[in-house]
A = this chain, B = another copy of it.
Amino acid sequence: MKSFQKIRVVAFDADDTLWLNEPLFQQTQEKCRAVIQHYVDSAELDKRLYETERRNLKLFGYGVKGFILSMIETVIELSGGRISGKDIRHLIDLGKEMISRPIELLDGVEETVTALSGQYDLMIVTKGELFHQESKIARSGLAEYFKHIEIVSEKDENTYLQILNRHRIPAGEFLMIGNSLKSDIEPVCRIGGRAVHIPFHVTWTHEQVEQRRLDGIEYVEIENLKQLIPMLGEV
Interface residues of A, Cβ cutoff 8 Å to B? 56, 59-63, 65-66, 68-69, 72-73, 75-77, 79-86, 88-89, 92, 95-96, 99-100, 128-132, 134, 151-153, 166-167
B61 touches A73 (CB 8 A): no
A73 to B100, CA, bound (A): 17
A56: nearest chain-B partner, CB-CB: B96
Q: What are 6 A-B residue pairs whose CB atoms fall within 8 Å in the complex?
A: A59-B100, A62-B131, A128-B130, A130-B151, A130-B153, A166-B167
Contact yes or no, B72 A65, CB < 8 A: no
Nearest CB on B from A54, distance (A) = 14
> Whole-angstrom distance between the alpha carbons of A132 and B60 in the complex?
7
Contact of A89 among B62, B76, B85, B100 (CB under 8 A): B76
Q: Which residues of B contact A85 (CB under 8 A)?
A: 75-76, 79-83, 88
Q: Which 6 A-B pairs have the closest CB atoms?
A: A61-B131, A81-B85, A130-B130, A65-B65, A76-B85, A81-B86
Of chain B, the residue at the smallest CB distance from A77 is B89
Contact A65 B76 (CB under 8 A): no
B96 lies within 8 A of A59 (CB):
yes
With contacts A81-B84, A84-B81, A153-B134 taken as known, whether A73 is within 8 angstroms of B89 at the C-beta atoms is yes
- Known interface pairs A59-B100, A130-B152; 4 further A-B residue pairs with C-beta atoms within 8 A, sorted by A's residue number: A72-B88, A82-B85, A129-B130, A130-B151
Q: How far is the CB of A190 from chain B (nearest CB, A)?
A: 22
Q: Give the contacting residue for A60; candidates B59, B62, B131; CB below 8 A.
A: B131
How far does the alpha carbon of A68 sit from the alpha carbon of B153 in the complex, in Å? 21
**How far, in Å, is A53 (CB) from chain B's closest CB?**
13
Query: Which of A63, A76, A82 counts the most chain B CB atoms within 10 A?
Result: A76
